[in-house]
Structure 1
Amino acid sequence: MGRISDRFDTLGAEGRRAFVAYIMGGDPDYDQSLALMKGLPSAGVDVVELGMPFTDPMADGPTIQLAGQRALEGGQTLEKTLQMVRAFREDDDTTPIVMMGYYNPIYSRGVDRFLKDAVEAGIDGLIIVDLPPEEDDELCLPAKAAGIDFIRLATPTTDAARLPAVLTNTSGFVYYVSVTGITGGAAAQASEVGPEVARIREQGGLPVVVGFGIRTPEAAEEIAGVADGCVVGSAIVAENATGKPVEEVLAFVKSLADGAHRA
């Protein structure tokens, strides 16, 4: 049992849905992104998704692409993103942290070295969007052996033939992408999401959290109501990009978390 399983068990016992917040490490700079990250739990965030900036984020829309560019231009590296986790853990040893991004920075660092550093820093899970199940030997299986959950994405195009492969070796939770396309796209629809969540949960036996296309407290409540939780990323990243103080960004995050927790 790790922090992710513990958190979902606790939420389940309380009859509450999870609110997961994504931020880009190093956007717009290290200090602000760290301050934002440290404030997320008090704003109602149950699981933190921390983006690893990368030069070719093929699954991301313009909002997160630009956030990654800002972070890289500001000198953010994988090492600095790991350092953010270490700094967060100085004050918070219970909130789960999932690092989300692409395989190239991890490959460049070396899988063994990365996993050792990730465990020591306090990372609980990985979402690596460009590593399919056919490549499990690359990172998924070594991560699980190191005690880090490997969280898969399922999409509206993940049919009955493909779903077993997606669920194999997945742990922590399943991230259901509610719409086809890139992040920050069309709005999610609960009527379409609900049956898919039920299908995935039945086959996988894991919590299913829904992301993409959630921008408002009302949408968070609606989508969380048909799942085990929801993820908001682009809307938070966009709010943080306006130059507002961290406290104002966290107030926006809290409104989203309150919506999810009303479900």
Structure 2
Amino acid sequence: MTRIDAKFAELRAANKKAFVAYVMAGDPNYATSLEIVKGLPAAGVDIIELGLPFTDPMADGSTIQLAGQRALAAGMTLNQTLSIAAELRKTDDTTPIVLMGYYNPIYSRGVERFLVQAKDAGIDALIIVDLPPEEDDELCIPAQAAGLNFIRLATPTTDAKRLPKVLQNTSGFVYYVSVTGTTGAAAAQAVDVAPEVARIKASTDLPVIVGFGVRTPQTAQDIAGVADGTVVGSAIVEKIGAGEPVADILAFVKTLADGAHRA
């Protein structure tokens, strides 16, 4: 059982939905990013999505793109990203960490070497948005053999023919993208999301977590109410980008987590 499996079992036992927070590693710099990450569990975050900075983040809107640029400009690397996870693990051995990003930095490092390093750092799962199921042999299968979950995205355009392919080697949870387009796009609507979540859950026993377009405590509550939990990224990253104090950022995160947990 991975940390993600254990977390969902714990949430089900408590009749709670999951709140997942995304932050870009190294944004705006290593020290501040580490302070934010270390503060997320106490702010109510059940699962941390840690963005791996990359020069060409094609699935991300301007907010996340700018966060990646800030991190890279501050000298953030793959090693330092894994270091943030390792530092959290010194005081927290239960909160799952999902590394989210693109394949190029991993390919450049070498898959086998990367997986050893990621596992050693305490990473629990990967979301690699530019590796389709047809490329599962590249990373998905080796990652699962190494004990890491491999989480796949499903979208409003993932039709009945495509869905089984998306689900075939997915583990941990399914990330449903609530709106078409990039991160930070239009607001998610529970009435639109609910039938899509039901459709996915009819084909898998995995939890379905909904992200993209969730920016407020009320939306977090509404979306978590029709899924197994929700993800917020851009709304948090905007506050980091604005240079708000870490305490204020974490206080905002807590309002989102409280919203999701009320569902």
Supply the distance in 2 between the matched residues of 1:138 and 1:4 (Cα, whole angstroms).
23
Q: Secondary structure at the match of 1:56?
A: coil
Give 5+ residue unaligned stretches, structure 1.
none
Which residue number in structure 1 is paired with residue 121 of structure 2? 121
Is 1:99–2:99 an aligned residue pair?
yes
Which residue number in structure 1 is paired with residue 139 of structure 2? 139
Alignment of 1:1-263 (within 5 A): 1-263=1-263
Supply the distance in 2 between the matched residues of 1:50 and 1:107 (Cα, whole angstroms).
18
Give deviations 1:230-260, integer Å, cap 9, x for gaps.
0000000001111111111000000000000
Supply the distance in 1 between the matched residues of 2:16 and 2:239 (Cα, whole angstroms).
26
RMSD of the TM alignment (CA)?
0.4
**TM-score, normalization: structure 2?**
1.00
Deviating beyond 6 angstroms after TM superposition, the runs of 4 or more aligned structure 1 residues are: none
Q: Secondary structure at the match of 1:63?
A: helix
Q: Secondary structure at the match of 2:203?
A: helix
Residue identity (%): 70
Give deviations 1:82-118, integer Å, cap 9, x for gaps.
0111111001000000000000000000000000001
Give 5+ residue unaligned stretches, structure 2.
none
Supply the distance in 2 between the matched residues of 1:186 and 1:244 (Cα, whole angstroms).
24
Supply the distance in 1 between the matched residues of 2:36 and 2:98 (Cα, whole angstroms).
16
Supply the distance in 1 between the matched residues of 2:240 and 2:251 (Cα, whole angstroms).
11
- 1:12: how far off? 0.8
Give deviations 1:57-99, integer Å, cap 9, x for gaps.
0000000000000000000000100011111100100000000
User: What count of residue pairs does the alignment treat as equivalent?
Assistant: 263
Give deviations 1:25-62, integer Å, cap 9, x for gaps.
00000000000000000000000000000000000000
Give deviations 1:193-233, integer Å, cap 9, x for gaps.
00110111120110000000000000000000000000000
